[in-house]
Structure 1
Amino acid sequence: MDIRQLEYFLAIVDHGGFNRAALALYVSQPALSQTVQSLERDLGTALFHRIGKRAVLTEAGTALIEPARAAVRGLQTARASVDAVHELRTGRLDIAAMPSPAVEPLTSMIRSFGDRHPGVRVCVRAAFTPRDVIGMVRTGAGELGLLTTPGPLPAKDVVAHPVGVQGLVLLTPLDGPFPAGRAVAAEELAGQRLIIVQRGTAGRSYVDELRERGVEFTVAAETEHRASVLPMVLAGVGLAVVTDSWRGTAERAGALVLDLEPNPVLRIGLIRREGPLSPAARAFLDSALARKEPED
């Protein structure tokens, strides 16, 4: 077994099949298949069920994912540590981030880091809930993770670093039901049409709690595509509760952004696995912590 075999195996897992993995790796599919078959011979078991053009993980394949990621990540860290002797000039950093903090503060974090280390490529991996972020960091799919949570930052299986706080805001069209310049009380959302996102997010928790308190509203649309929320608001589909990170983008696009009252505080955290970090991850973490916002 060698690292190349594990990298090819993980590429098939991450890209959902042999064809896409071969394209992502810039290798031929026969070469990819031969490498995986060699890995299966070394392990003495099949890692995928070949069903037509699909590749479905076997139980053994599923068990291999986490140790394979740890092995590949360990080698990448070792290589990067050697490269760091000659300065942090190249490399790659994978960050798992929820959509809202990926707007801010991640944009500003990447800009500050890029000013110091322009040769390092930052790859942002999509994660929709805090649990998703933690899982991706724990398994090595991302070396760092960025999440928001209304409760304490996670302390199990990962190390969390607080980097700021955010509130929630209400997005409406300019001709929406509420005037600019004042906060909207939760009870005033009764009877409104709301655009909601998937469970496990702060905005969804807020509107679910409204209903539990007896504030009745109509769900105009439910979407897992967070990027579609603002266009739907601007089109008059409904109103939306989102994190304050969307304020600048929404106002530039022509939406009205209103504070909510009361407004929960969301903690923003950068998380990592216990143990050594690659030089790129360490430099990014140091840069992010140096610019973090004070908590209320």
Structure 2
Amino acid sequence: MDGQIAVLAVAEKGSFEAASKYLGIGRSAVRKRVQSVEAEIGTSVFRVMGKRMVPTEAGSLYLPSAQESVRQAWIGMDRVQAFVRVLTNDLRVGYSTYLNTKLLDIVRRIRPESMGSLTVTRESLMTYQAVAGVLQGDLHVGFGILPVLEPDLSTRLLFEEPLMACLPVGHRLATRSTIRPEDLERENLVSLSRKGLPGRHQDIVTHFESLGVSLKFATDAYSVKEALWLVTQGTGISLMTRFSASAYRYDVVVRPISDRLLTVKSGIFTRRDHSQKLISDFVDLAWAETASLRANPN
């Protein structure tokens, strides 16, 4: 795998020198590793173009396979490390700080009876950080906002909350008891965590488009607090749950959206290749413990 990593580093950085600094090894070591790959496949994988080294035709064919091979090797290592952590009595759980407090309360206390003396280490994160942690094997289980756009993860919906419209005080729609989807057609909107939660953002956009409504986003907000502040400044309307809208003391008007299919989904996710009974028991318990939330989401 060292040879494949060296080839990938040279392809990305454009020279042996730059690749050596990136990998933290000597220039000659990088060259030897690339040469070992070339000897194995029987042809050169790089050629000089100006001041850069670029892949040959054979190199261009080899690079995707090398990337996938290295990825699979790291996945295998991560899987083993996560398995060992369970064997050493440490189940690691990551959860989003933006989950509803009712769900957070369950996440913080659930513990399968089958765990015995095993400890549960819980870490408060953003959803994308929990996703990365589970993928990399640093976490066994993650809780966060769905959907999660990772084919290597298995997800399970635990809780749905109606989406609300947060409007500036004095906005023309603020006097209405309910906001219809078509009311938002030409309104400026503040996107919430478009980069951090691309799946959720796209779900909202796609749903409105299915109703014939095109949303216009004026700006992006990284956090709920920032989104609410932007609403108070008249930048636009933000779509979030009532729980999120009430998390900070901002002077905004919160109105339900008439389409009850517009929801924010929270769930649990694990690696598809994790087959340990302990992890599956934890997921099943999370499902059972959140049954009352699904029965009464408000």
TM-score (norm. length: structure 1): 0.57
Residue in structure 1 matched with residue 76 of structure 2 by the alignment: 74
Q: Classify 1:192/1:124 alpha carbon distance in 2 versus 1 (closer, same or farther; 3 Å).
A: closer
1:234 to 213, 227, 232: 232
Contact residue 181 and residue 208 of structure 2 kept, 8 A: no
* Equivalent in the alignment of 1:295: 294
Shift of 1:87: 1.8
User: CA separation in 1, counterparts of 2:66 and 2:141?
Assistant: 21
**How far, CA to CA, are the matches of 2:186 and 2:53 in structure 1?**
47
- For the Cα contact (< 8 Å) 1:172–1:257, is it kept in 2? yes
Unaligned regions of 5+ residues in structure 1, if any?
128-132
1:274 Cα offset (Å)? 2.9
Residue 195 of structure 1: how far off its partner (Å): 3.5
Matches within 5 A, 1:120-269: 126=128, 146-148=144-146, 159-179=154-174, 182-189=177-184, 192-196=187-191, 201-209=202-210, 212=212, 219=216, 221-223=218-220, 229-243=227-241, 246-249=244-247, 251-266=248-263, 267-269=265-267
1: CA distance, partners of 2:62 / 2:139: 22
Q: One-letter code of the match for 2:120?
A: H
| Separation of aligned partners in 1, 2:80 and 2:120 | 19
Q: Is the CA contact 2:82–2:139 (under 8 Å) kept in the aligned structure 1? A: no
- What is the CA–CA distance in structure 2 between the aligned matches of 1:51 and 1:259, rounded to whole Å? 61
Check if 1:103 corresponds to 2:104.
no
Counterpart contact for 1:203–1:242, Cα < 8 Å: no
Shift of 1:226: 6.3
**1:171/1:255 contact within 8 Å kept:** yes
Deviation, structure 1 residue 29: 4.1
**Unaligned 5+ residue runs, structure 2?**
39-43, 112-118
Does the 8 Å contact 1:160/1:272 carry over to 2? yes
The separation in 2 between residues aligned to 1:278 and 1:39, in whole angstroms, is 37
Q: Do residues 60 (structure 1) and 73 (structure 2) align?
A: no
Distance (Å, rounded) in 2 between the aligned partners of 1:265 and 1:195: 17
Query: 2:4 touches 2:37 (CA, 8 Å); kept in 1?
Result: no
* Shift in CA distance, 161/205, structure 1 to aligned 2, threshold 3 Å: same
Identity rate, percent: 15
In structure 1, how many angstroms separate the alpha carbons of the residues matched to 2:124 and 2:276? Answer: 13
Which whole-Å deviations, capped at 9, do the CAs of 1:173-217 have from their partners, x for residues lacking one? 23433447933233444654333576862332344345x26xx88
Residue 31 of structure 1 corresponds to: 24
**Matched-pair contact (CA < 8 Å) for 1:185–1:260:** yes
Q: CA deviation at 1:170?
A: 0.5
On the 8 A contact 2:232/2:252 being kept in 1, the answer is yes
Distance in 2, Cα, partners of 1:186 & 1:172:
14
* Number of positions where the alignment pairs a residue of Structure 1 with one of Structure 2: 262
Stretch moving more, 103-112 or 169-178: 103-112
